[in-house]
Amino acid sequence: GEDGKRLKTLEVAVDESPPAPPEDARIIGLAYDFGPDGANFDPAITFTWSYDPAGYVLGYVAEEDLVLAYYDKDAGKWIELDCVVDTKNNTITALVSHFTTFAIVGTITPPAPPKPPYTPTPAPIPEPAPPVTPAPEPEPAPPVVTPPV
């Protein structure tokens, strides 16, 4: 706890209106406010969160890109934690040093633009070369006949 004593109780409540995630991300599932406020952990505690794999599909979020994040009220932004995502058991694990609002956050990967349909370009048809006609041979000049005199 804040005074170095063990916590007697833990508080967990759904955050009905969590702060907006970063522009390129989405909160997956619900955000939860963990308490009591001011509780700090030294050393940090291991925090494992289960998720529903059907919940991250919308918005093009890759399962392996899911992270646990907490909202830093002083900084006014979500802070992503170093996490281990277990895609087989659908869990995310991180070390947590204090209680606040936590959520699973996923970065949206936009879909690849559709490839334009393949339109084959016909190869130009080569025009046949004009036949080569040999130059006409000059006709021999007719013999000159000279009448006898």
Q: What confidence tens digit (pLDDT) does each residue in 30-51 have?
A: 899 988 887 888 899 999 999 8
Q: Name which of 83, 81, 102 is nearest 91 in CA terms.
A: 83
Rounded to two decimals, what is the model's pTM? 0.66
C-alpha–C-alpha distance, residues 46 and 61, integer Å: 24
Domain locations in the chain as residue ranges: 24-107
Q: What is the pLDDT of residues 87-146, one digit of tens each?
A: 999 999 999 999 899 999 988 876 666 777 777 777 777 777 777 766 666 666 666 666
Q: Between 125 and 58, whose confidence is greater?
A: 125
